[in-house]
Amino acid sequence: MALFRAALGAAREGNIEQLDLLQQQLGDDYLMQGYLDFHRLRAALPELPPAAVSDFMTRYRDLPLANAMERIALGRYGLRHDWASLRALRDRPPATPELACFYWRAVHDASPQRAYEAIPSLWLSGASRPDACDPLFAAARQAGVIDDDLIWQRLLLVFRQGNPGLMRYLNGLQSETEAASGQHLRQLYNTPALILSLAPTTPRYADLAAAALHRWAHLDTPAALAGLQQLRAAQPDLAATISQPAERRIAWYSVIRDLPENRSWVDSWLREHGDEELLEQRARRAVIEQRWRDVLAWTERLPAARQASARWQYWQARAHQQTGHPAQAEAAYRNAAAARSFWGFAASDQLRQPYTFNAAPAPANEPLPPLPALQRVAMLVAVDEPALARDEWLALLRREPDHLAALAEYALQQGWPALAVDTALHAGAHDVLRWRFPQAFREQFLAAASEAGLDPYLLMAVARRESAFHSHATSPVGARGLMQVMPGTARQIAGWLDEPAPATGELYDPLLSIRLGSTYLTDLLNRYQGNRLLALAAYNAGPQRVDEWLNATTMPFDVWIESIPYYETREYVQAVLAYRVLLEHLHTPQDARRQRLVSAAERHPGYHIALLEEP
């Protein structure tokens, strides 16, 4: 184990002399040889011939590194303009834009016409394309493949993506006869109301009108509605392809922004069009306003399957309860309480009955055959390479679809809870709760909770939601580790503790992540007088936003959750509280459980700006 760790370190650093010495001790048929050969070959690129890359991919086809080696080689060959080697290695386009452009440049080198057939799929994007694409696009423009129509199509995509700089560049590529249309489009991006002054005979008017209304709806929704009505009055035959998408977008922003001046119009539009997603948003708005008859009216317009969900059964029950129909309320609560979810648990609380867990036993499984990948995973876990271990595991799941149950059990036996969660998700085993909610880092969570005076299952639930117990997880915005702590937040917490700020790489350490996360959650709970709903919302979205979401209107706890503007945060609060119930149910003796979804203090007296005052 120590030899492999040292050899892997030497391989990554490109210290081939040290690697050779260590490999002599490990032997030629060493189990982890592929990981060492990977770095050896990568260091030799792009001089390495494509046959050597292909040989690596064949020899180590079961390793997730096989595809990684190909991607690296394609990129290195492309940067060196070694088109012959690239064509020899790959006979179909890769998925990533940069490598795809290298691939088609290699094809263009031998067969320009074939490469030009791929241009529309590469070119038509609302985002900037990689620099690797520029020479291919220049050749396609010179050959007339990228013409005014293709440039215009991309301009429309870029307009909707919101990239004025790229619009300006594309406008500069247009011919003299088309440049005016591009200029109109750029003007409409900043001032969409200018569409009212353009004559319908203006070239590309239909596209300009559709784009202007799309943008206008976002910038000034009431004005966009008035503008659309003005356009339709002046042009009764305004194409449905323009007005219908504009109407829906205006309706969407009218509902989610709660624009009273558009309310009458949007309600009429919804009754006529019955757009499922917007009907749900309109029902949610009625919940937030606590207009209970409207809640019933709008939820009853939802499709039957959506209406039957625990969420909307719960809100129908609340509406029946508030409008004096206890029998209907109880029936709807019972429907909701049959689900294992936040709203199902909330309905059970209303009925004062136990929660429904709908847990299924693990399916029968056959003993696992000898699988070298399991040994490799064990080795990678032992040398603290969790990301590589997970890659191995996910590749194994794809190769062994008939052994998923056995693999999930094996992961639990080996103490790899995050890999058990991965297996449950891959197998679609949503009801096998022991796979989906295993005990992970239990002793560490118990110790941190004891030190901070926290509920350990709340901490575990946060980690389960944040990282699915993967200690090496990294979010798109840069949060890291088990508890997904941002580097800036970690520095802030270190200041509170009078400790040196941790390096970014240290945030992947489970012990440190749990300690930082528990300290931060404790601070948020103190800020919000022990209220977990507010503290969890702040953990996800930041305390400043949560402070803004509390106002002079008093809301019941459930209405406040539904009122959270951010979908991600709304779902986060629900998930963590439900996960906490599940984890305690699975891992605590019945007589020791405190599994209330929401405490009495979190229910009453209501959610109001006064919660921000000092107790």
Amino acid 615: pLDDT: 56
> What sections of 28-147 are H helices per DSSP?
33-44, 50-59, 65-80, 83-89, 97-110, 112-116, 119-123, 134-142
Residue 586 CB contacts under 8 Å (≥ 6 apart), including other chains? 433, 434, 437
pLDDT tens per residue, range 130-159: 999 999 999 999 999 999 999 999 999 999
Which two structure tokens, joined as six digits, stand for 170? 């594309």
Measure the CA–CA gap between 355 and 336, rounded to whole angstroms. 11
**How many Å from the N-terminal Cα to the C-terminal Cα in the chain?**
55
Residues linked to residue 480 through DSSP beta bridges, in sequence order? 474, 485
Which two structure tokens, joined as six digits, stand for 277? 């997603």
Helix (H, G, I), strand (E, B) or coil at 607: strand
What residues in the chain have per-residue pLDDT under 50? none
Which two structure tokens, joined as six digits, stand for 286? 């009625």
Put simply, whether the predicted model's pTM sits higher than 0.85 gets the answer yes
Amino acid 592: pLDDT: 67
| Residue 402: count of CB within 10 angstroms of its CB | 8
Task: State how far Cα 575 lies from the chain centre.
Answer: 15
Residue 336 CB contacts under 8 Å (≥ 6 apart), including other chains? 310, 311, 313, 314, 317, 343, 344, 346, 347
Amino acid 579: pLDDT: 98
pLDDT tens per residue, range 472-482: 999 999 999 99
Amino acid 614: pLDDT: 63
| Ramachandran quadrant class, 204 (left: phi over 0; alpha: psi -120 to 50; beta: rest) | left
Catalytic residues: 466
Do the beta carbons of residue 347 and residue 310 sit within 8 Å?
A: yes
| Residue 26: count of CB within 10 angstroms of its CB | 17
- From the list 53, 91, 81, 58, the residue with the least C-alpha distance to 69 is 53
- From the list 361, 358, 363, 338, the residue with the least C-alpha distance to 348 is 338
Do the beta carbons of residue 464 and residue 437 sit within 8 Å?
A: yes
Measure the CA–CA gap between 156 and 185, rounded to whole angstroms. 8
